[in-house]
Amino acid sequence: MHALRKNSPLRRIVLASAATVSGMVLLLSLKPHSTPETALAVPAPSSSSGAGTSGGSSGGSSASGTRTVTGDTIQTRWGPVQVRITLKGGRLTEVTAVQYPTDNPRDQEINSFALPRLRSEALQAQSANIDTVSGATYTSDGYRQSLQSALDSAGG
């Protein structure tokens, strides 16, 4: 384009903004709304064992049918995530996060809103089939997998 060709700066500004905004909206809408891993029913502890995963352990069960099971430790990109579940009469009554990333203040901020939401989703769904909390993608992923492993060992 020649420098002396007449072109209005306004047109250029409108074009640049429109291109940027529409490009971004397109990128954002192309992303799936939940992780593909959500469908992952069995986390296959063997494949993720070794460096990443420490085995889940069954806790004690009482006469009233209350059982506590600790899930696998899942290594996420921000740090390990591990949950402990409580089952009463086959129903999931409590999920506690035993380990979660706390390396920087931002992690703590994320955990403070993400963990309660993940817990209530899990209790509502009564399974590991829960949505990712936005802004806490990796923590959600780890949470889901650890929860699934706990449910698996409780069921098995």
Partner 1 sequence: MTTTLAGGRAARRQTMRRIRPRRSPATVLLLAVFAGAVGVLWLWWMNTPSIADQNGKILNAGRITGLLAGYLMALVVLQMARVPALERRVGSDRVARWHAMSGRYTLCLVFAHVFLIMWGYALQAGKSLGDIVQQTIDSINQLPDMGKAAIGTGLFVLIGLTSIGPVRRRLPYDAWYHVHLLTYGAVFLTFWHQITTGNDFAVEPTAKTFWYALYGSVTALVIWYRILTPIRLNMRHHMRVEAVIEEAPGIVSVLIGGRKLHRMGAQAGQFFRWRFLAPGMRFSSHPYSLSAAPRPDMLRITVKAIGDHSARLRELTPGTRVWAEGPYGAMTAQRRSRGKVLLVAGGVGITPMRALFETLPGAAGDITLLYRANTTQDLALWDELAAIADDRGARLMYAVNSPDGERPDISAERLRQKLPDIDKHDVFMCGPAGFAQSVYEALRGAGVPARRIHHESFEM
Shortest Å distance, C-beta 118 to partner 1 = 11
For every residue of the chain, which 3-state class applies, written as one string? Answer: CCCCCCCCHHHHHHHHHHHHHHHHHHHHHHCCCCCHHHHCCCCCHHHHECCCECCCEEEEECCCCEEEEECCCEEECCEEEEEEEEEECCEEEEEEEEECCCCCHHHHHHHHHHHHHHHHHHHHHCCCCCCCCCCCHHHHHHHHHHHHHHHHHHHC
- Binder of partner 1 out of 8, 10, 36, 155 (CB under 8 A): 36
Judged by CB under 8 A, the number of residues near partner 1 is 35
Q: How far apart are CA 128 and CA 74, in angstroms?
A: 14
**Is 79 a residue that touches partner 1 (CB under 8 A)?**
no
Shortest Å distance, C-beta 126 to partner 1 = 20
User: Rounded to the nearest 5 degrees, what angle is found at the Cα of 70, between the Cα atoms of 41 and 129?
Assistant: 25
Window of 49-57, 60-68, 108-116, 144-152 that interacts with partner 1 by CB under 8 A: 108-116
Window of 53-61, 62-70, 84-92, 127-135 that interacts with partner 1 by CB under 8 A: 127-135
Window of 5-13, 50-58, 59-67, 91-99 that interacts with partner 1 by CB under 8 A: 5-13
**Is 24 a residue that touches partner 1 (CB under 8 A)?**
yes
Window of 24-32, 40-48, 52-60, 62-70 that interacts with partner 1 by CB under 8 A: 24-32
Residues that bind partner 1 (CB under 8 A): 2-6, 12, 16-17, 20, 24, 27-28, 31-37, 77-78, 104-106, 109-110, 112-113, 131-135, 137, 141
